[in-house]
Structure 1
Amino acid sequence: DRPETLALTGGYRRIPVMQIGSDIYADTALILDELDRRFPERSLIPVIDSRRQPGVDFALRLWTDRVFFPLLPWTQLPRALHADREKMSNRKIPLDPSHPSYTLSRAAARESLAQIEAHLAHAEPTGWILPGPNPTSADVHLAMNVWFLLFVAGQSWVRSEFPRVVAWVTRLHERAGMEFGAATGGIEMGAEDAVEVAMVGESCVRTGEAHGEVMGAGTGGVRVGDVVDVAPSDYGRDATRGTVVRIDADRVVVRRRDDHVGVTTTVHFPRSGYVVRKARIAKL
């Protein structure tokens, strides 16, 4: 469980999430889009031949989710966490490293890393995954999983078999001002700090200025002002309930209050990969 995160997201349990004041952004794709909107001069969205390529980012996220998740060393983690993640992913996660699915995942990871190793051999002079002077989300998605294999799953064979991959991840850490192997960089904040920021922060979405409508199967014609449940469509389907303050083709934004800690947040979700339904509210 991530109780501090739930106070801000209202049910959404996947990571990462991004907080700016009282605005909470769910899903890596939306986080990158929002950062790109706020800081266009430092965009991470891949650009090929002067054109943004969000599809490259989407494809890499799918690949990393499918290949690396089963390699997590569940035998070294609490059983309660194992049971919780099985429920969240809606599938059995084997504990035995000799299980066929674990063996297949390791083989798939090795094959994928071999392809990255070969690609990096021709990525000079910049040394990033895609052409250009700066890293992009392509580097972020791939490097995150190399870090995961090395420092969480303890797969030491990565370091010995793929030196270019390790050198590339090291460069990315250095560019971000992080020590290689560190999980985070910058200033660390506790849960209480995040809640306090949300309490005093002002949302970028003003009540009454947003508008939009979506018609489609299962939505019932959701409009601004409706109380809805928003949940991922694949796994980790815990819903966030709130009042719609913005909805369009790209995102749905709901405002909600956590009475337990007394904080109101505005939670942003991408439309792609999420289900929006009018909430069923019991009448007394």
Structure 2
Amino acid sequence: MADLILHHYPTSPFAEKIRLILGYKNLSWKSVIIPMIMPKPDMVALTGGYRKTPVLQIGADIYCDTALICDVLEHLQPTPSLYPAPGKGLERTLAHWADTTLFWTAMAFNLQPKGVAQMFGDLPPEAARAFGEDRKAMGAGMVRLRPADAAAAYRSYLRRLSDMLHGRPFLLGDAPTVADFAAYHPLWFTRVRTSVLADILDNVPDVLNWMDSMAAIGHGSMEQFNSTDAIAIAAASTPADLHDDIFQDEHGIPLGSRVSISGESFGPEPSEGELIAATRMHYTLRRTDPRAGTVHVHFPRIGYCLKAAAQA
């Protein structure tokens, strides 16, 4: 198997989700640290525009969004499973709720002034402003909860997680599923990155115990790597064959068309290329970059918008 290269930064909550899954599956991986905010020229050379964190690279195949990365890692290392029977649909649905509703509620709470002050306390004021402007651009048009409303909702969601954990070690049973990794990472941000606000967790001891169990999984075997070498690997590699050739057309856009794909709500920066797959679960673009060569960039269907590229 080609090396797993994760493009991420240490304080990214979604990256923590994937780092723990790599540990859970006992996988070795290479770590490329990317900037927290734009510009990200090396990552964009691989994705063509997508800039959310993390991105998984395997040779000349570039996988965007943690929902898809989870599926890729499950395929590469089926055990222990992220989707154990019989609750596969429940696990995916709960994970989607955690990655969206729970995540944005937690982050609205975490990024109140007290949390931001801790995050950027040792840095010049320009750092906090740059971060705020970057995330504002990524979430243009999103409705954001005010901190007080977020705190009320967050407490309710924490109680619901606590109810699920009462009498069992993980959310859906005796072993973690994709739902545990998805629910953990926004709470991890509260506990680790904005710890001045972490007393919100004190009233849910079952959640704290579960978080300790999740943290104990660790990150597997990691090797530091650099983006220049990662791009060179992409340029020297050939994308893997596409095994699922079933075309599910929802847009009236045939394979071979020039298209763009962008996040439906957060991260609107489009990636453009030739549509070579549109299956039940994902899209794949073929694109060529002067530095990265020909790559296949993969996206999940859920959460992303496909459009025909504007004609020059």
Scaled by the length of structure 1, the TM-score of the pair is 0.80
Q: Cα distance 1:215–1:160, how it changes in 2: closer, same or farther (>3 A)?
A: closer
- Give ranges in structure 2 of 5+ residues lacking alignment: 1-37, 121-126
How far, CA to CA, are the matches of 2:218 and 2:230 in structure 1?
22
How far, CA to CA, are the matches of 1:142 and 1:256 in structure 2?
34
User: Residue 254 of structure 1 aligns with which residue?
Assistant: 285
Q: Give the secondary-structure state (helix, strand or coil) at the position aligned to 1:234.
A: coil
Out of 233, 237, 246, the position equivalent to 1:197 is 233
Q: Cα distance 1:52–1:36, how it changes in 2: closer, same or farther (>3 A)?
A: farther
Give matches, 1:173-188, under 5 Å: 173-177=215-219, 186-188=222-224
1:121 aligns with 2:166: yes
1:8 aligns with 2:46: yes
How far, CA to CA, are the matches of 2:98 and 2:212 in structure 1?
20
Q: Cα distance 1:43–1:82, how it changes in 2: closer, same or farther (>3 A)?
A: same
How far, CA to CA, are the matches of 1:263 and 1:272 in structure 2?
28
1:167 aligns with 2:209: yes
1:193-250 CA distances to partner (integer Å, 9 max, x unpaired)? 32233223331136xx87555544xx4x322222111112222111100112222232
- Give ranges in structure 1 of 5+ residues lacking alignment: 95-99, 179-184
How far, CA to CA, are the matches of 1:58 and 1:46 in structure 2?
16
User: Residue 93 of structure 2 aligns with which residue?
Assistant: 55
Q: Cα distance 1:150–1:3, how it changes in 2: closer, same or farther (>3 A)?
A: farther
Out of 248, 266, 275, the position equivalent to 1:244 is 275
Moved more, 227-236 or 36-45: 36-45
Task: Report if the CA contact (8 A) 1:22-1:199 is conserved.
Answer: yes
Give matches, 1:255-274, under 5 Å: 255-259=286-290, 261-274=291-304
Q: Rg: which structure is higher?
A: 1
Q: Give the secondary-structure state (helix, strand or coil) at the position aligned to 1:43.
A: coil
Out of 158, 172, 178, the position equivalent to 1:130 is 172
Amino acid at match of 1:19: Q
User: Residue 310 of structure 2 aligns with which residue?
Assistant: 280
Q: Give the secondary-structure state (helix, strand or coil) at the position aligned to 1:237.
A: coil
Amino acid at match of 1:35: L
Q: Cα distance 1:46–1:60, how it changes in 2: closer, same or farther (>3 A)?
A: farther
Task: Report if the CA contact (8 A) 1:230-1:274 is conserved.
Answer: yes
How far, CA to CA, are the matches of 2:53 and 2:76 in structure 1?
21
Amino acid at match of 1:88: M
Q: Cα distance 1:228–1:121, how it changes in 2: closer, same or farther (>3 A)?
A: same
Scaled by the length of structure 2, the TM-score of the pair is 0.74
Task: Report if the CA contact (8 A) 2:95-2:183 is conserved.
Answer: no
How far, CA to CA, are the matches of 1:157 and 1:52 in structure 2?
30
How many aligned positions are there? 261
Runs of 4+ in 1 over 6 A off after TM superposition: none
How far, CA to CA, are the matches of 2:92 and 2:143 in structure 1?
31
Q: Cα distance 1:247–1:56, how it changes in 2: closer, same or farther (>3 A)?
A: same
The offset of 1:114, in angstroms, is 2.6
How far, CA to CA, are the matches of 2:88 and 2:280 in structure 1?
25
Aligned-CA RMSD value: 2.7
Pick 1 or 2: higher relative contact order, CA cutoff 8 A, min separation 6: 2
Task: Report if the CA contact (8 A) 1:252-1:268 is conserved.
Answer: yes
Give matches, 1:90-169, under 5 Å: 90-91=140-141, 101-123=146-168, 127-132=169-174, 134-154=175-195, 155-158=197-200, 160-169=202-211
Moved more, 248-257 or 67-76: 67-76
